[in-house]
Amino acid sequence: MTAGDRHSVRVGRGRDPDSDKAVLSAIHQARISPPTNDAPGWVLAFCGGKHDPSKMIHALSAGLDTTEIVGGSAAGVITRAGAGYSGFETAIAVFPASLPPPILLTENHLDAGERSAGARLGERIRSAAAPNSVVLLFYDSVAQSDPHQLHPASLLVEGIYDGLNGHPVDILGGGMLTDMNLTDGYIFDRSIVAKHAVTAVVLPQEIRAETAILHGCVPVSAFLEITKIEGAELFELNSQPALDVIEGLLGMPAGESARDALSLMVTLGEKHGDRYAPYDENAYVNRLILSANPARRSITLFEPDFKAGSIVQIMSRDNGLMAESVRRGAQLMTERCADRDCLLTLYVDCAGRASARSGSQIEEADILLENLAIDAPFIGFYSGVEIAPVNGCSRPLDWTGVLTTLYRVP
C-alpha cells in the first residue's frame, strides 16, 4: 500500500472573516496536500463561532459536492499549522468516497431531556453498529444563553448506554462551542445546522481507534467520600463542608479571590478500576470546579454525575503537569501507531487548556504537535466537554485532551 493510498483523508484549514473565503481556503488546502482526484465522501468540519453557520454549511456542501457533513461550532481549531481561536478559523477533514462510508445518526430535542435523547440515540446505534465499532459523537453544548445553562454530557452519555443495553462500542467525541466563554453551540447534521442536537458517526468495522487521555492532574489528597451532593452542587466531603475541606488542604485563605482561583488550581477526580493501583491519568475522570458558594460552603462542579457515596480525590491542576502529560502522551501514541495503517489523528481539547484560558506560556497543542510523529493527517478542535473510554466505558471528561488515531485493520 502506498503512502498516497494510506493518506486518503485530507485536512484543510482556512481563516478569514468572510465565511465563504474561509471554507474555500480550507477546501483548496485539503485538495492540494497531497493532491487527490478522489471524490469526497463525508466531512468532519469545525468552524469558529464568529462565522455564520448557515453560510458555512452551504459553502462546504457546494464546494465539496457532498451533504454528508458532521461536526459543528468550535471554540478553536488545531491543525499541523498550530492552534487558532480567533473565531474566524475553520478546519475540515475530508474522507474520500473510496473508503467505506459511516452511518450518520442524529437525535434532536436535547432541550426536552438529555438522557431520553441519548437513550433514543443509543437504541439506534445498537441497531446500526457492529460490536466494538468506533462511534464519534458531537453534540451541542449550550442549552441556553440567558440564564446560562449547558446540556450535561453525563446525562446524554448515560442515556446512550441505556439505549445500547450492553452492546459494546467505543464512543469518542466532544461538545461543540462557538467560543471559550461558552456563549452558544451548534452541530452540523449533514447539510443543516442544528441546535439541541447530537450526531453519532458509526465508523465501518475496519476502522479502529487508539486513544489516550491527557490531563496531567495528579491527586493531592487521600480518597474522600462524597456525603452530600445535589445535582452538580457538592456540599460535603467526609461529612465536612466541601469548601472547608478543599481550602484546608490547599491552605487557602478565606478571601473571595482565593475561592475564585479554585477552578484554576484543582479539580475533583474519581479513579476507575483498581483504586490502589499506581497512578495512571487514563484511569481518572476529573470534574472542574465552576464556582464556590461561601455562604453554603459548597462547590459547583461542571457535570452532575458524581453521587453520594462516590469516592474522589482532590487533584492538582498545573500547567507544567499538563505540558508533561501532553509530551508523554504524544510520544506514546507515536510508538503505538508506528506499524499501523493510520487514517487520521483527532484531538478533542478542552477549551480551558488553551493558553488564553489556562495562562500557560505555551500552547499545549504546540507541545503535542512537536512530539507527535504519526505519518497521518491531523485535525483537532477546542471543546466544552471531551468524551472517551475510561476503564471500558466512555465518559465525559473535563480539562482533558483526548488524542485518538483512527487506523484500518485488514
pTM of the model: 0.93
Task: Supply angle C-alpha 114, 288, 149, rounded to 5.
Answer: 40
Beta bridge partners of 70: 44, 189
pLDDT at 256: 53
> Three-state secondary structure along 29-56?
HHHHCCECCCCEEEEEEEEECCCCHHHH
3-state SS, residue 133: strand
Residue 253: its pLDDT value, please? 60
Question: What pLDDT, on a 0 to 100 scale, did the predictor assign at position 35?
Answer: 62
Tell me the torsion sign for CA atoms 315, 331, 407, 139: positive
What string of pLDDT tens digits covers the 410 residues of the chain? 333 444 489 999 999 999 999 999 999 999 876 666 678 999 999 999 999 999 999 999 999 999 999 999 999 999 999 999 999 999 999 999 999 999 999 999 999 999 999 999 999 999 999 999 999 999 999 999 888 899 999 999 999 999 999 999 999 999 999 999 999 999 999 999 999 999 999 999 999 999 999 998 999 999 999 999 999 999 999 999 999 999 898 887 645 555 556 777 889 999 999 999 999 998 999 999 988 888 999 999 999 999 999 999 999 988 899 999 999 999 999 999 999 999 999 999 999 999 988 888 899 999 999 999 999 999 999 999 999 999 989 999 999 999 999 999 98
pLDDT of residue 165: 98
64 CB burial (10 A radius; 0-12, 13-18, 19+): buried
CB 217 within 8 A of CB 315: yes
The tally of CA atoms less than 13 A away on the side-chain side of residue 60 is: 35
Backbone angles phi, psi at 208, to 5 degrees: -120, 170
Q: Which three cell numbers stand for residue 105?
A: 445518526
What pLDDT, in 10s, does the model give residues 41-80? 999 999 999 999 999 999 999 999 999 999 999 999 999 9
* Domain ranges across the chain: 3-214+322-408, 218-317
For residues 161 and 122, the answer to whether their CB atoms sit within 8 Å is yes
- What's the pLDDT score for residue 8? 84
The C-alpha atoms of residue 396 and residue 303 are separated, in whole angstroms, by 9
Reduced 3-state DSSP string for 150-188: ECCHHHHHHHHHHHHCCCCEEEEEEEECCCCCCCCCCEE
E strand or H helix at 291: strand 284-293
Which residue is listed with cell 448506554?
161
Given a contact cutoff of 8 angstroms between Cβ atoms, the answer to whether 104 and 190 are in contact is yes
| The residue count for the chain | 410
Contact call for residues 388 and 394 (beta carbons, < 8 A): yes
